[in-house]
Amino acid sequence: MSRTRPLPPPPARSDHLYASLPADKVNVFRFLLEAEDHLALFTILDKYGATLRLSFAPGQRPEVLAFLDRAKDLLPLTVVAL
């Protein structure tokens, strides 16, 4: 099956947000993010304080912020920087 129109080029840069949560909750956060069809990727910047850097496509910021708001209901999550 062929596409009728070409896909646009990927964005040149990713957008980022930073969040913090307890280190023992990182796996739960990972599963929640996977359930959102990998809306963002995250990197652990501080393994003891579990500071995370979330990387995502520039147009996805509203969806990522909505996901983080929903995740706050389940996890002690703090968005560190917007």
- Give, for all 82 residues of the chain, the pLDDT tens digit: 566 788 888 888 999 999 999 999 999 999 999 999 889 999 999 878 789 999 999 889 999 999 999 999 999 999 987 6
Domains by residue range for the chain, with CATH: 15-81 (3.30.70.240)
Please tell me the distance from the alpha carbon of residue 34 to that of residue 6, in angstroms, as a whole number: 27
Please compute Rg for the chain using Cα positions.
Answer: 15
| Other beta carbons within 10 Å of 48 | 8
Half-sphere exposure of 67 (CA within 13 A, CB side): 22
